[in-house]
Amino acid sequence: MTIHKEGYTTIALSILFIFIINAFVDYKYYDVTWLRWFIYIFSAALFLIVLQFFRNPRRSFSAGEDLVICPADGKVVVIEETEEGEYFKDKRLQVSIFMSPVNVHINRNPISGVVKFFKYHPGKYLAAWNPKSSTENERTTTVVEHENGTPVLFRQIAGALARRIVWYVKEGDQVVQTEQFGFIKFGSRVDVFLPVGTKVNVALNDVVKGGITTLATLA
């Protein structure tokens, strides 16, 4: 397991904070044993939490020309037909994955193809499970056209804790299935919009792995 590049600055700031607070307690309250041990334990827990959040575990990825691979770790919280109003402006099959703070937060391309559309939207920070978060929260929208002509839309959505979305793609890019397209810091969700009638290979509340779980099969 390695640490993702998005974590370098946060980890460095965490170490600096831990050093300062420990030095202060050791100097100011050197004779208050219980307080010093509390700060030591708190510091260790904080460091481990931050470290695990930015982990980048080694994986053997799934692949398949007709497969839609899960773009994120988490739990499937939505499988439904809905109106997609930003790009398609018609009915689509939405599959949403909720990412908790303990999940790996790397986002991966569900299919290979050409990026036909990309847009970043500033917005609110509603809880990720709120239905309005898909259209009102800070988010990015990416549409990749499969080589068979089928477009798939996927959307990074910030949440109440997730206050930073990172993306690595732009319109015109040729992207490869399971390669990284972005990162969401401190939990949120990813929506995938598929053609109506697409065979979905997951169920509600399934725990899924980014780059590994087969989300759906394209016709």
pLDDT in tens, the chain (219 residues): 799 998 899 899 999 999 999 999 998 888 888 999 999 999 999 999 888 888 899 999 999 999 999 999 999 999 999 999 999 999 999 999 999 888 898 999 999 999 999 999 987 766 666 666 666 778 899 999 999 999 999 999 987 665 678 999 999 999 999 999 999 887 688 999 999 999 999 999 999 999 999 999 997
- For 180, the token pair is 């990284």
Residue 21, H or E segment = helix 8-28
Q: What is the CATH number of domain 67-217?
A: 2.70.70.10
Domain boundaries, the chain: 2-56, 67-217
Distances 43 to 17, 24, 34, 100 between C-alpha atoms, Å: 9, 13, 14, 22
pLDDT at 102: 85
Residue numbers annotated as active site = 188
Q: How far apart are CA 62 and CA 55, in angstroms?
A: 20
Q: How far apart are CA 177 and CA 161, in angstroms?
A: 28
pLDDT digits (tens, 9 = 90+) for 77-96: 999 999 999 999 999 999 99
